[in-house]
């Protein structure tokens, strides 16, 4: 649907899989992806308002998705959406609900690169309109890549995935 409600549904595919794996496999570390592109009908990573992704509305739903994954048994949450403030919103929701022990492993940078093409095709998450430039980096802009990651990693992130540069 338009807001990717399956992403935070208790009966969502990731939530069901996490519960089933926790029940059947001992000592398994489950890391889940937090994003909406594969759940929305439009293929973008968040809520669309006036033809663009609404960062603040998306943060609310990302927090719901993170909480639903933690409740289902995810051991680490890995947001890949790249919305500004995403880690803080998720951390707040998790902490308020008693999931202070669940770490967040955030990407420091994500690019609008064609290298994501095969993933987007497989996940059926190619945007139906526009592109992801408003919330992902231009791979040709090395200066931005060097400036943004420290800010991304200063959020209340427990683990930060950074490019080697």
pLDDT tens sequence across 64-89? 999 999 999 999 999 988 788 889 99
Which of 77, 66, 72 is closest to 20 using CA atoms? 72
Q: Please, are residues 61 and 7 in contact by the beta-carbon 8 Å criterion? A: yes
Q: What pTM value is reported for the model?
A: 0.77
At 49 the pLDDT is: 93
pLDDT averaged over the chain? 81
pLDDT at residue 165 above 70?
no
Query: What is d(CA 115, CA 124) in angstroms, rounded to the nearest whole number?
Result: 15
Considering 30-39, 93-102, 130-139, the range whose residues carry the highest mean pLDDT is 93-102
Residue 134 contacts by C-beta under 8 Å, 6 or more apart in sequence?
52, 53
- Closest to 109 in 3D by CA, of 34, 161, 45: 161
Q: How many CB atoms lie within 10 A of CB 5?
A: 15
Q: Classify domain 5-161 by CATH number.
A: 3.20.20.70
Predicted confidence at residue 43, as pLDDT, reads: 82
Q: Any residues with CB less than 8 A from the CB of 9 and at least 6 apart, and which?
A: 15, 68
Using pLDDT thresholds of 50, 70 and 90, give the confidence band for residue 122.
low
CA 85 to chain centre: 12
Band (19; pLDDT cuts 50, 70, 90)? very high
d(CA 106, CA 123): 20
List the alpha helices (DSSP H) in 97-141. Answer: 117-122
pLDDT on residue 145: 59
* Burial label, 62 (beta-carbon count in 10 A; 0-12, 13-18, 19+): buried
Which residues contact residue 135 at a Cβ distance below 8 angstroms, ignoring those fewer than 6 apart? 45, 46, 53, 55, 81, 82, 83, 84
């Amino acid at each position: 649907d338009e807001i990717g409600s399956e992403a935070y549904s208790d009966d969502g595919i990731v939530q069901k899989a996490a519960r089933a794996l926790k029940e059947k496999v001992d000592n398994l570390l489950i890391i889940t992806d937090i994003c909406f592109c594969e759940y929305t009908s439009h293929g973008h990573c968040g809520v669309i308002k006036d033809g663009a992704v609404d960062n603040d509305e998306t943060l609310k739903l990302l927090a719901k998705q993170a909480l639903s994954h933690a409740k289902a048994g995810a051991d680490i949450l890995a947001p890949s959406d790249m919305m500004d403030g995403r880690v803080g919103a998720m951390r707040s929701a998790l902490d308020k609900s008693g999931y202070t022990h669940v770490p967040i492993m955030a990407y420091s940078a994500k690019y609008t690169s064609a290298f994501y093409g095969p993933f987007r095709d497989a996940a059926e998450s190619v945007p139906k309109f526009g592109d992801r430039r408003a919330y992902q980096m231009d791979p040709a802009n090395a200066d931005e890549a060097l400036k943004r990651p420290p800010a991304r990693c200063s959020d209340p992130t427990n683990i930060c995935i950074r490019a080697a540069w």
